[in-house]
A and B are shown apart, each in its own frame.
Chain A
Amino acid sequence: MVKSHSQMKNFFELVRKSFYMFIRDRQATIMIFISPIVFMLIIGFVISGISGGTTSVNVKVAAYTSNSSNYEQLFKKAAEKSGIEPIFVKDKNDVKKLVNSGKVQMGISLESSTVTFFYNQSFGQYNNYLKDLQSFIVQAIREEISGIPMYIQIVPNSLKTGSSLTVISFIVPGILAIAIMMAGVFGMATTLGTYRENGSLKRLRTTPLNGSLFVFSIALNRFWSSILSSYITVLMSEWIFSTNYNINWPLFSILMASAVFMSLGFGTAFSVVFKDLWTILNFSTIVLVIMMLFSNVFYPFSIMPEYMKVIARVMPITYFAQGLRYTLGIAPVYLWKFTLINIIFAFGGLLMIVLGGKAIFYLEKR
């Protein structure tokens, strides 16, 4: 009873079995479907929390004025100029309470000709930014008190009409990019690392199976699931953070597809270079931490020191996030650039998967 199989059927079988292995592996599915959401929720809230909440870009200030009606008006005007949101309190002690409890970022009391600023030390580095703001506020108050005329006024004009965005909307694409990369890199690296450690790869090496095909079949299952996961994550963000993106679904899908391929490619490459599973995990962690911090995912290029800019420019995540912002309708990117990003991601990823698959089987031979 000997029957023949064609090459195509052979590949289909491989993909089907990888599919079973993947969906029955609770760890892998959690990694792909749950971790991006958890990651986005936590980091999203923490980072948007300190930089002004989920509603708008501003700094909340507890304000106390001795001469309530007059100074309150005056302060409101000054606040408008310096972009802060005052919460007026009746008692000076309430300022202290609000600042200490972390419900506002800073406190101000305005009495006759004295302005006192209150900070919370546990805000650490963030206080430095607040202190920069202090001089703006003082300046605004001084102008109001002195009643001096203004000559020049800045009239801001938005160059891109679209839904106005909140802090969290800035951050979500970055977090999404990291979460999807993380799931791709870790997922691929742990799977291949485990197969090598338990001898499965060695066994497969003795069959006529092509290494690239095998790794590709694993990648394919991670691929559709990562794309699905990215949809869920972005919809979750819309729902929880009310981000109101103007999502271009076809372009979003294209970018996700190429970026997921790249992540899976990196995962494959890492597991080729490093022999044991733990080293792979360690290395991936370090790379991801560096990617997260040394890129323009959480903060723009314009506030980075020179060496960070250099690193950020070579990080693929920078371009992934940039592309994502484009497909989510946040910031435009030249079409040629977007196309180039996708081509490099997709081909780079594919190349790493195919060559990595070859190499990983080849390396089983000693």
Chain B
Amino acid sequence: MKETWNFFKVHLLSDLRNKRSIFWVVIFPILLFTILVLTFSNLGVKGSINFKIILINDSQKANGPNFSRELVNAFRSLSFPNKDAIFTLTMMKKKDTNAAFEKVIYSEADAVLIIPKDFNSAIARSILFSKLGISAPLVPIKVFYVPNRASSNLAESAIEGTIGQINSYLTARFGYTLKAIKVKSKTFGSIMESPSYTNFVAPGIMVIAAFMTGLLLVAPKIAMMRRYAVMKKYASTPVNPYSFFLGFTASRLFIMIIQYIGLALFSTFVLGAVIRAFSWQAFLYYLFSCAVYAAIGFVVGFIASGPTSVGAVSSLINLPLEFLAGIYFPLYNLPWYINIFVYINPLWYSTNALRQFLGVAMSTTPMWMNILVPGIWLIASIAFSSVRQNLEKE
């Protein structure tokens, strides 16, 4: 017991004194979390979206209402500097059409909108026809954009959406009424009302933190201890090998628990996440995941040729594993050969389970699988490590 405690203490201290460990265990998860939240919480939300459009009003004055002016005003009201503007509007003359196109082609603007010459009369005619019950041809407004550029493409859709609104505004003005329809929405697997990105990503960050600890605080150490024969040195003393594994593993788990608490506090109080951070189920499942990652860390430590190669290997496998765990983006529509990696990825199950236990979303995989698959990883890793350890004695 005393030996186990000593191993626990020694390994814990050695990491707490190591800048490199502190970086990966404390700083990296928090930094990543903050960067992700800063990015995705504000991406594409109202106020962030803004398309630069150029409007060319070529319409001529006609008798009766000036529809084109109404249209321009409608776009103006949706443009900067108005509140919730989604456009930055530039008016240009007909003769500058080519210059406007060039601006769009070379990314200086997102789309060009041209109100045709006969717009006013065409609308007037159209209204008249429809009042008489004759179907009138639609009045075209040309939008020029670059479909191969995302922002231009999005701008085009936004304009189409706006025109829909203008249409219904016009129909209302001319006495049509829209039938009332009831709109309901239901979210499957919902625990909380539309979770923010912070809530969505928080469980994944905890998983990454624990995984990092498992990989970088276990594997390089094991590799180093093998290289410098520290294990052999221990084996030559009367100390029970289990007390080393127990003490060492416990010190890793201890670090992971600190990570959990730290991240829970950080996400709740700094980033304002609304998660059930202190649910027992979440915590127990987290501990289980930690055990799995520590075991995987042992395996990597036994396979790796040296501490530096662990660093290289982990930086290589890290990102794919995290992406295939649906931590940053939901997983959808993947081809089968990529899906295989998702289904064997323990990080995916942990993320799913933790999302449920932390009250963010129901797990997409059944809970028994969230325990079974990582469980298989755990058992296989332990089996592999002990076989390797025994082989090295021979």
Interface residues of A (CB under 8 A from B): 27, 30-31, 35, 38-39, 41-43, 45-50, 52-54, 57, 60, 81, 83, 96, 99-100, 102-103, 105, 113-129, 131, 134, 136, 138-143, 145-146, 148-160, 162, 164-165, 169-170, 186, 190, 194, 277-279, 281-282, 285-286, 289-290, 293-294, 299-305, 308, 322, 325, 330-334
In the complex, what distance in Å separates the CA atom of A190 from the CA atom of B314? 14
In the complex, what distance in Å separates the CA atom of A35 from the CA atom of B166? 50
Say whether, besides A158-B145, A302-B52, A46 and B324 are in contact (CB < 8 Å): yes
Shortest Cβ-Cβ A-B pairs, 8 listed? A300-B151, A124-B200, A153-B138, A121-B361, A49-B333, A302-B151, A305-B42, A121-B189
When the two chains form their complex, are residues A139 and B168 in contact, meaning their CB atoms are under 8 A apart? yes
When the two chains form their complex, are residues B188 and A121 in contact, meaning their CB atoms are under 8 A apart? yes
Note all chain A residues with C-beta closer than 8 A to B164. Answer: 81, 136, 139-140, 143
When the two chains form their complex, are residues A277 and B195 in contact, meaning their CB atoms are under 8 A apart? no
In the complex, what distance in Å separates the CA atom of A100 from the CA atom of B189? 8
In the complex, what distance in Å separates the CA atom of A332 from the CA atom of B371? 51
When the two chains form their complex, are residues A117 and B143 in contact, meaning their CB atoms are under 8 A apart? no
Q: How far is the CB of A286 from chain B (nearest CB, A)?
A: 6
Segment with Cβ contacts to A, from B155-163, B256-264, B281-289: B155-163
In the complex, what distance in Å separates the CA atom of A281 from the CA atom of B148? 36
User: Residue of B at shortest CB range from A120?
Assistant: B188
List 24 A-B pairs, Cβ < 8 Å: A27-B312, A42-B338, A43-B323, A45-B338, A49-B334, A54-B333, A113-B179, A118-B185, A119-B185, A120-B187, A120-B188, A121-B362, A124-B330, A128-B44, A146-B176, A149-B126, A149-B176, A154-B160, A159-B146, A169-B148, A285-B315, A303-B43, A304-B43, A305-B48
User: Residue of B at shortest CB range from A293?
Assistant: B39
In the complex, what distance in Å separates the CA atom of A138 from the CA atom of B32? 38
Q: How far is the CB of B26 from chain A (nearest CB, A)?
A: 12
When the two chains form their complex, are residues A46 and B331 in contact, meaning their CB atoms are under 8 A apart? yes
Q: How far is the CB of A313 from chain B (nearest CB, A)?
A: 12
Partner of B43, one of A48, A116, A122, A299: A299
Q: For the complex, is B181 an interface residue (Cβ under 8 Å from A)?
A: yes
When the two chains form their complex, are residues B332 and A123 in contact, meaning their CB atoms are under 8 A apart? yes
Q: How far is the CB of B289 from chain A (nearest CB, A)?
A: 18
When the two chains form their complex, are residues A153 and B181 in contact, meaning their CB atoms are under 8 A apart? no
Interface residues of B (CB under 8 A from A): 20, 23-24, 28, 31-32, 35-36, 38-40, 42-45, 47-52, 71, 101, 104-107, 110, 123, 126-127, 130, 135-136, 138-151, 153-157, 159-161, 163-168, 170-171, 176-191, 194-197, 200-201, 308-309, 311-312, 315-316, 319-320, 323-324, 326, 329-335, 338, 341, 352, 355, 360-364
Partner of B163, one of A154, A186, A293: A154
In the complex, what distance in Å separates the CA atom of A42 from the CA atom of B339? 10
Say whether, besides A126-B330, A293-B39, A302-B155, A282 and B142 are in contact (CB < 8 Å): no
User: Residue of A at shortest CB range from B195?
Assistant: A124
Note all chain A residues with C-beta closer than 8 A to B324. Answer: 42, 46
Partner of A156, one of B28, B35, B145, B361: B145
Partner of A83, one of B48, B157, B188, B320: B157
Note all chain B residues with C-beta closer than 8 A to A282. Answer: 20, 23-24, 28
Apart from A47-B329, A151-B123, A152-B71, 10 more pairs, CB < 8 Å: A31-B316, A39-B320, A102-B332, A102-B333, A124-B200, A125-B40, A131-B194, A143-B164, A146-B177, A331-B149
When the two chains form their complex, are residues A114 and B189 in contact, meaning their CB atoms are under 8 A apart? no
Q: How far is the CB of A246 from chain B (nearest CB, A)?
A: 10
In the complex, what distance in Å separates the CA atom of A294 from the CA atom of B36? 9
When the two chains form their complex, are residues A141 and B139 in contact, meaning their CB atoms are under 8 A apart? no
Note all chain B residues with C-beta closer than 8 A to A41. Answer: 338
Note all chain A residues with C-beta closer than 8 A to B330. Answer: 50, 102, 122-124, 126
Q: How far is the CB of A315 from chain B (nearest CB, A)?
A: 13
Q: How far is the CB of B195 from chain A (nearest CB, A)?
A: 6
When the two chains form their complex, are residues B149 and A128 in contact, meaning their CB atoms are under 8 A apart? no
Say whether, besides A113-B182, A334-B106, A300 and B141 are in contact (CB < 8 Å): no
Say whether, besides A123-B330, A302-B50, A302-B154, A148 and B24 are in contact (CB < 8 Å): no
User: Residue of A at shortest CB range from B24?
Assistant: A282
Question: Which of B171, B324, B330, B352 gathers most chain A CB within 10 Å?
Answer: B330
Partner of A143, one of B35, B141, B168, B182: B168
Say whether, besides A140-B164, A164-B147, A300-B150, A145 and B186 are in contact (CB < 8 Å): no
Q: How far is the CB of A186 from chain B (nearest CB, A)?
A: 7
Question: Which of A131, A149, A150, A304 gathers most chain B CB within 10 Å?
Answer: A149
In the complex, what distance in Å separates the CA atom of A215 from the CA atom of B390? 44
When the two chains form their complex, are residues B159 and A154 in contact, meaning their CB atoms are under 8 A apart? yes
When the two chains form their complex, are residues A116 and B151 in contact, meaning their CB atoms are under 8 A apart? no
Q: How far is the CB of A46 from chain B (nearest CB, A)?
A: 5
Say whether, besides A148-B171, A158-B145, A301 and B179 are in contact (CB < 8 Å): no
When the two chains form their complex, are residues B101 and A159 in contact, meaning their CB atoms are under 8 A apart? yes
Partner of B143, one of A139, A155, A330: A155
Note all chain B residues with C-beta closer than 8 A to A303. Answer: 43-44, 48-49, 151, 154
In the complex, what distance in Å separates the CA atom of A100 from the CA atom of B360? 16
User: Residue of A at shortest CB range from B151?
Assistant: A300
Note all chain B residues with C-beta closer than 8 A to A121. Answer: 187-191, 195, 360-362
When the two chains form their complex, are residues A143 and B178 in contact, meaning their CB atoms are under 8 A apart? yes
User: Residue of A at shortest CB range from B147?
Assistant: A158
Note all chain B residues with C-beta closer than 8 A to A128. Answer: 44-45, 194
Q: How far is the CB of B124 from chain A (nearest CB, A)?
A: 10
In the complex, what distance in Å separates the CA atom of A302 from the CA atom of B308? 42
Note all chain A residues with C-beta closer than 8 A to B141. Answer: 152-155
Note all chain B residues with C-beta closer than 8 A to A113. Answer: 179-182
When the two chains form their complex, are residues B333 and A294 in contact, meaning their CB atoms are under 8 A apart? no
When the two chains form their complex, are residues A45 and B320 in contact, meaning their CB atoms are under 8 A apart? no
Note all chain B residues with C-beta closer than 8 A to A334. Answer: 106
Question: Which of A136, A141, A300, A325 gathers most chain B CB within 10 Å?
Answer: A300
In the complex, what distance in Å separates the CA atom of A96 from the CA atom of B160? 30
Say whether, besides A122-B355, A304-B43, A117 and B185 are in contact (CB < 8 Å): yes
When the two chains form their complex, are residues B364 and A122 in contact, meaning their CB atoms are under 8 A apart? yes
